[in-house]
Amino acid sequence: MKTFLVLFMITGIAFANYTDDDSHYVEPQQEYSTDNIVLTSLGTWILTSTKTPRGIDCSDTTSELYITDYSTDMISIYDYTGTLLDQIDLPVEIPDVAGICLGSDYILINDNGSDTDINKYQSGIWNPEFANPSPNPMGMDMDASIIWEIESSTNILYRFDTNGTILNQWTLSEPPSSTSAMACTIFPMNGTHFVMIGGFTWSDFYFYEWDGANLTFIGTHVLPQSANQSYGAAWCQQRSTLFWVYKTGGNFNVCEFQCSISGVALERMTWGAIKATI
């Protein structure tokens, strides 16, 4: 998962629906079997240098987490324990950064406000890269050179290339439709991919298998920590775990957790082989 991408709601609508206060609580979900999905929290830490986090991604080559912050127009870089390592300023043309993903030597971000482009950060310079096919983007991830992005208000999941050409799109019927989708990450397991989707006040994560041709709903699992609001999530190749941004009480937090599906734990070594087949 590489490229920085952060998604924000349209000004006035986004802030009304996704205000970071404690009046929003997780809502009941549809009943699905989760016997074949197990999430295990490995620990949490409080975000101290990010005011209003949204998107998150993990570097494939360094022990770093990248978290977007829409109110400070900043990307903060942390180690796995929550120590702030660096920060990257966003240009004024990107007012409502939301999703982020990391490429080999660049960052991609999206914007949930007035900027309709995917923007790239490379060699210290920001530039618009291509038009975002989603009109209301939020969470985002990338495997190989293919981008996955969830639309916040419709639960439409997009899969598109780095020119913005849509390869697939699905309207996800399983998650709640009353509140915003926020998190989107794709990860490998035993020769296949799984996509995990989360929402602002959803009590569960939703899991789908992507076999390279079809997207199949697998099931749900309750969030690995109690949360009032839920934001971005990202697969970490170096640790074979997932990191998730959430809020509880007055604090924004990061949780690292393990995932197993059908009784088989995620395996780090399969990632390169999976990417090579895409």
Q: How many CB atoms lie within 10 A of CB 159?
A: 19
Residues of the chain with pLDDT under 70: 1-34, 263-278
- 146 lies in some domain: yes
Write the pLDDT tens digit of every residue in 119-155.
Answer: 999 999 999 999 999 999 999 999 988 999 999 989 9
Chain centroid offset of residue 3 CA:
11
- 26 lies in some domain: no
Residues in CB range of 266: below 8 A, 6 or more apart = 187, 188, 189, 240, 241, 258, 259, 260
The alpha carbon dihedral of 13, 19, 70, 134 has a sign of negative
- 62 lies in some domain: yes
Exposure string (b/e) for 184-195, b if CB count within 10 Å is 16 or more? bbbbbbeeebbb
- 6 lies in some domain: no
Residues in CB range of 272: below 8 A, 6 or more apart = none
pTM beyond cutoff 0.75:
yes
Residue-level pLDDT at 31: 52
- 12 lies in some domain: no
In this structure, what CATH number is given to the domain that contains residue 171? 2.120.10.30
Owning domain of residue 43: 31-277
- 1 lies in some domain: no
| Total tally of structural domains belonging to the chain | 1
Backbone angles phi, psi at 112, to 5 degrees: -95, 10
Exposure string (b/e) for 30-53, b if CB count within 10 Å is 16 or more? eeeebeebbbeeeebeebeebebb
- 8 lies in some domain: no
Distance from first CA to last CA of the chain, Å, rounded? 14
Q: Tokens 């038009």 identify what position?
A: 131
